[in-house]
Amino acid sequence: MVSLVQQMTPALTPDAGEQQELLARVAELETAAAAPTPDRGLVQRVAGGVLSTIRSLAHSPDVQRLAVEAVEQGIQSL
């Protein structure tokens, strides 16, 4: 999921600052989820931040929908 969102980032927004913000949130999510015993509450809060950031990027609604679905499915698999 992290790799997919990273790949979609340029399609989600052409703005370099928005891309950096999204990539930072995704990296934070990856770190939280990769912990030996992930704190489910922390992972969900961080994922909520990722989803919020993705939803605020309205440059490509179809890519946005795919990114949201990827994050939601990734969280459900934990």
Q: Give the model confidence (pLDDT) of 21-43 as tens digits.
A: 999 999 999 999 999 999 989 99
Listed range (11-15, 42-46, 56-60) with the worst mean pLDDT: 56-60
Predicted local confidence at residue 42, as pLDDT:
94
SS (H, E, C) the chain: CHHHHHHHHHHHCCCHHHHHHHHHHHHHHHHHHCCCCCCHHHHHHHHHHHHHHHHHCCCCHHHHHHHHHHHHHHHHCC
In this prediction the pTM is 0.80
What's the rounded Cα separation, in Å, for the pair 18 and 71? 18
